[in-house]
Structure 1
């Protein structure tokens, strides 16, 4: 039987910000594969398969769900759909998706404005202080696009954020805070 001390070695830590997409891709791959640091430097760990970044844990789910069901799935794990507050977090989420889906298809994140047009809020309750919209987005077209996904590239090569109808189904990224 595996002891608790041995289990803690399964969790990878990330202490410094990576300086490039390649560094982020490597960090994400190492953490997904559960390659632990054995130097005792881990102070707080994410669950197995989650990626630690900036005192939060992120994970990707490939099973497509509508936005609301994806949020509920994350909540049942003690998390929310992912929020991003700076370029480093944005690039890390893109790296996490790329690790599971090399084509970088769209995935739900925790941003929505269904209660009030252009009243964007993160489902985890954090401040809306960072954006990476595609050109001409958000546009609320198609009768109520008020939920947001990342990596949208329908008619533009940018693969940034797009508002979409919440009923559509996509993979998704969850985030939880480290305690």
Structure 2
């Protein structure tokens, strides 16, 4: 009863609040709540628990997103900033790229177009059936294809 009463009493508008302010506040609270962080038009989440690529994607789906896709240098820098803010270093992690469906045809798990890349020199090389994309492979913080069965932390993304 107390919680309901408090919610009812405090659910009114704030003084000098416009309808735009209310909708903006609601959008911000709903879209990137919890441990998600706003970066541009997306919410990003670093998941420190190491999992296979498939389990990491399933985890992101359960959280309302996908493993992160990258469409430009700025988005890649956003992901780097998130990881470093959580780990204090450029931690290797899964993002949403995979060519498991067809060799050398890289796709993002969220269905967006795979146009931007940041592959390390000589990658992707498919050495030992490497179908999943890890970031921060070397000091260059570039991309490497890796066997999907390896356990790594991951980065999830969802629209704001």
Q: Normalization by structure 2: what TM-score?
A: 0.81
For the pair shown, the structure with the greater C-alpha radius of gyration is 2
In structure 2, what is the Cα distance between the partners aligned to 1:57 and 1:103? Answer: 21
Deviations 1:39-88 (A, max 9, x none): 87656321122111232111001000000000000001111000011111
Is the aligned partner of 1:163 residue 2:145?
A: yes
RMSD of aligned residue pairs (Cα, Å): 2.0
More helix by share: 2
Contact 2:41–2:159 (Cα < 8 Å) also in 1: yes
Q: Indicate the residue corresponding to 2:130 in structure 1.
A: 145
Contact 2:83–2:89 (Cα < 8 Å) also in 1: no
Is the aligned partner of 1:102 residue 2:88?
A: yes
Q: Normalization by structure 1: what TM-score?
A: 0.73
In structure 2, what is the Cα distance between the partners aligned to 1:58 and 1:148? Answer: 17
In structure 2, what is the Cα distance between the partners aligned to 1:87 and 1:81? Answer: 17
Deviations 1:20-56 (A, max 9, x none): xxxxxxxxxxxxxxxxxxx876563211221112321
Is the aligned partner of 1:44 residue 2:27?
A: yes
Higher relative contact order, chain-length normalized (CA < 8 Å, sep 6+): 2
Helix, strand or coil: the match of 1:158? coil
Helix, strand or coil: the match of 1:144? coil
Q: Indicate the residue corresponding to 1:36 in structure 2.
A: none
Deviations 1:105-124 (A, max 9, x none): 20000000011111000000
Aligned length: 142
In structure 2, what is the Cα distance between the partners aligned to 1:170 and 1:106? Answer: 7
Unaligned runs of 5+ in 1: 7-38
Question: Structure 1 residues 144, 50: CA separation in 2 closer, same or farther (over 3 Å shift)?
Answer: same
In structure 2, what is the Cα distance between the partners aligned to 1:53 and 1:43? Answer: 17
Q: CA deviation at 1:103?
A: 2.4
